[in-house]
Each structure stands twice: as structure tokens, then as C-alpha cells.
Amino acid sequence: MKIITGGAGFIGSAICWRLNTLGVSDIIIVDESREGSKETNLSNLKFTEYIDKDEFIKQIREKSFNHKADTLYHMGACSSTTEGNMEYLKENNVEYSKSLAKWCMDNYVRYIYASSGATYGAGELGFDDNIAMMPKLKPINKYGLSKQLFDMWVLDNKLDKEIVGLKYFNVFGPNENHKGDMRSMINKTYGQILKTGKLQLFKSLKPEYKDGEQKRDFVYVKDAVDMTIFFDKTLGKGSAQNGIFNVGSGKASTWVELAGAIFSALGKEPNIEFIDMPDSIKNQYQYFTQANISKIRNAGYDSKIMELKDSVRDYVLNYLVPDKYLVP
């Protein structure tokens, strides 16, 4: 049996979808309310049970959870990069994760959890998932700090020898409609283009980056879940397939390039308007991210990662235009 926390969310529901395509349906989904688009994320997926996230952690901590599982994908967290309540983030993203890690160790369950590329902050130290560098990282928002705190707890307790943490970069794709302001730019601007014929991007506040030339590592959710499921194996302590890994494309693309891919998919000429960046994100805006993915490659992941233009086209034409979700 597989357990997916955050299983009704973006990456969690995509993991369920991929497992279904592989013939796996003995899955427990753990999440909060199923209302709205989260319910739609699950409407075509196969799983055996749905458990509220608060009830789930209560059973875990009280040792009353009586299901046997071989893998726990812990994707559940507050993923808002603008969340300001650190106590909430500590409980939801750190303490919750610790309880699950301890339960997995006690019950011989494979533990695969979501960290974040946000832990790298502004990228002054690069984006290398070498554990020697991780204590030096300085996230620039509280969300990134909460993920860093749990990564450091894993390292301090030497659990990186037994479990897997995944630093997801800018993931986009189907099943993200419920994320509100945290949706990808592709999802946000698709409707904007249809309505106004143009797409808005933030102006740059740094002279070394022209407007729209800020760069991010954009990775399609289908690639992200394939990289995630790659680690779903029974392994001995100290295996090269245990540890903390980057999950990204390994390439940095500009926002202008991403916008061009969206317009191209829609058969339209690019029409970009640059707007002022909101004050609320000016001090926590990443101008460049690029995952070093040599570690996951060296661990044996050898599948080809989709080119940005191809993944954007698949997302736009096969999901956004027909208004569809992932279907096994």
C-alpha cells in the first residue's frame, strides 16, 4: 500500500495518477477538504481510502494507525511562499514531517518527502544538492525556511542515509487550479491571454537582468513525479538512492522564453506587458534558479526530461484548452 499526504493537491494527485498508470491503486490519500478543484483532481483517480490530514497525524502520533504500507509520499505542506505565520509553518511543515519520519522508521516504510528549491534562497551558494552545502543555505522566505529546518533535522539525525527528500524547483502542469496565487505562470496567464490577447510579466529590479530575463528552472509535473517515483524502492541503509536530491529540469529559462512557449502553443504572436513587481515579494524574489541534477542522474535516474516548449505545449493543448485533469 502507498500513502500520499497532500494527495488531493498538485504533485500528490499527479503521483496517484502515475501510480494508477503503473497498475497501482492500493493507495491512501491524506489531505484536508476535498471540496472544489481538489475534488476534481481526484475524480478520475483510483485509491482505496481518503483520510483527513488532522485525523491521520493524530492516529500516527497515538500509534493507532493500523494500515500496513510500503511507501509514504509526504507531499502535504503549506506551500505558500508568502505565508508569514512561522509558528503555523513549523507545525505544518516541520513537526508534522518529523512525526511521519519517525513512524516510517519504526514501521519500515519508505519515506519520500517534499523539500523545495526555495531552500536555496537567492542562490548565492548555487543550487547544488551536496549535503555539505545545505547547512549554509539562507532561504529568503519563511516557507523556504520551514523546508530548510526539516532538511537540517533529517541531516542532523543522519536520516538522509535511509530516506529521500526532494527539492522541487518550479513545477507546473495539470491539477494545479486549486493553488490560487501559487499556481504556475502558465496556468495564471492562459486565461489572461484568451481574454486580453496579452500576458503580463514583472519588471526586473536588478540592472543585470532585463525585464523578463529573470530565469527559473521550470519542470513539468509529469517529469517531477517520474523522478519522485524513481525512489520508491526497498533499499539498504546508505544506498546512493537515499538522501536529499534536486528535482528540476537542470536548465534555466527566462520568463520571456516561457511566455513565448505559451503563445506558440496557442498559435499566437507573443504580446507581453511588463508590470511593476508587488512590494510584498520584492525582497523574496528569486532572479535565477537552476537545479544541479547530477546527483539524481548518478543515482540512476536516466529518463529524458521534456524540453520546456514541448511540456508547455502538452499542458496547454491537452489540459488547459480542453479543461481536463490527469486521467490514468
Residues annotated as catalytic (active site), given as ranges: 143, 179
- Write out the DSSP string of 138-155: --SSHHHHHHHHHHHHHH
| 147 in Cβ contact with 115 (< 8 Å) | yes
Which residue reads 529590479 in cell numbers? 205
Q: How many CB atoms lie within 10 A of CB 210?
A: 13
179-182 — which CB contacts under 8 Å span 24+ positions? 179/9, 179/10, 179/79, 181/80, 181/82, 182/79, 182/80, 182/81
Which of 40, 25, 47 lies closest to 324, judged by CA?
40
Q: H or E segment at 27?
A: strand 27-31
Task: Give the Cα separation of 173 and 17 in Å (integer).
Answer: 13
3-state DSSP assignment of residue 20: helix
Burial of 289 (0-12, 13-18, 19+ CB in 10 A): buried
Which residue reads 490577447 in cell numbers? 197
Which of 87, 146, 142 lies closest to 113, judged by CA?
146
Task: Give the Cα separation of 137 and 294 in Å (integer).
Answer: 19
